[in-house]
Every structure is written in C-alpha cells, then in structure tokens.
Amino acid sequence: PIQEVLSQVPIFEKLTNKELIQIIRLIHIREYKTNEPIFKKLSPAEGMYIVSEGSVEIFEPESNIVFANLSSGDFFGELALLDEEPRSATAKATKPSKLIGFFRTDLLVLIKRYPDLGNKILLNLSRVLGERLRQTNLELIKPK
C-alpha cells in the first residue's frame, strides 16, 4: 500500500518499482491524533509529508486562515526538500492520521547513492513547485 500511495504523488511520478523500493527504504511513517500538530509555523523545515490515511489542515495560526484541507494521497511541505527556511504555516491532523515523511536528509542520501533517481525526483519536484507557483499567480490576478 505504501508503494501505491507513493506512486500517486507527482514527485515520485513515473518511477519504476525498483526506484520506489529505494525510496520506501528511506521514508518515515508517523501517526498523529486528532488536533495533534505535525509542525508549527516557524519551526525548522525538514521535509515533506504525504497523507496515507486521515486528514490534515494547513493554516496560519494568528489569523486562522486555512490554506488547505488535505486527505489520503495529498502531500505538503515539499519546499522543505530544497531549502531550510522555517515553516510558513502550521499543519495539524484533523482526525487520526498516518503520514509518510520524506525528509531533506533522505533526498540527499538518495542523490548520493542513486544520482539518476535523485535527478528524476528533483525534476518532478521542480515541476510541482512550478505548477503551484502558476496556480498562485492565477489566484492573485483573479478579479475580486
């Protein structure tokens, strides 16, 4: 089931079963209770999470603006794979949840051990970030 979940995430898109197995060796499974924080705004960014089961809310804690409600198959925090800037929002489980963590250190190990696989992931990550930036730009220019 973990391999199936990973194969649906755009960052791991078009990877072979053998490549997905290499990633599975590095990931971390974490479980969270309802309302338990996954990370808080301004905490150190370590990596991304994929919702395997449950649901997660991404929000700005001071204003309580909700940026996203995520469920099985959704992912978040992927920018942390590229930089060490603090988190820009808070993430919490909104019901009991199981998450797959893929952290910057895991990506760096992968790049060192399997450069071709690392490059595939970096290209996919770049594409995902580009798509999200384009979507944000469209949202910003929409008439109010």
What span, in angstroms and rounded, lies between the C-alpha atoms of 142 and 81?
Answer: 30
In this prediction, residue 132 carries a pLDDT of 86
Residue 1 clears pLDDT 90, i.e. is over it:
no
At 24-42, the pLDDT tens digits run: 999 999 999 999 999 999 9
pLDDT at 105: 93
Q: pLDDT value at position 84?
A: 86
Q: Are 20 and 12 in contact (CB under 8 A)?
A: yes
Q: What is the residue-averaged pLDDT of the chain?
A: 93
Whether pTM > 0.85 for this model: the answer is yes
Q: Using one digit for the tens of pLDDT, what is the confidence trace for 79-126?
A: 999 988 999 999 999 999 999 999 999 999 999 999 999 999 999 999
Predicted confidence band at 59 (pLDDT cuts at 50, 70, 90)?
Answer: very high
State residue 135's pLDDT score: 87
CA nearest neighbour of 71 among 51, 47, 48, 97:
51
107 contact partners, CB below 8 Å, separation of at least 6 = 47, 81, 118, 121
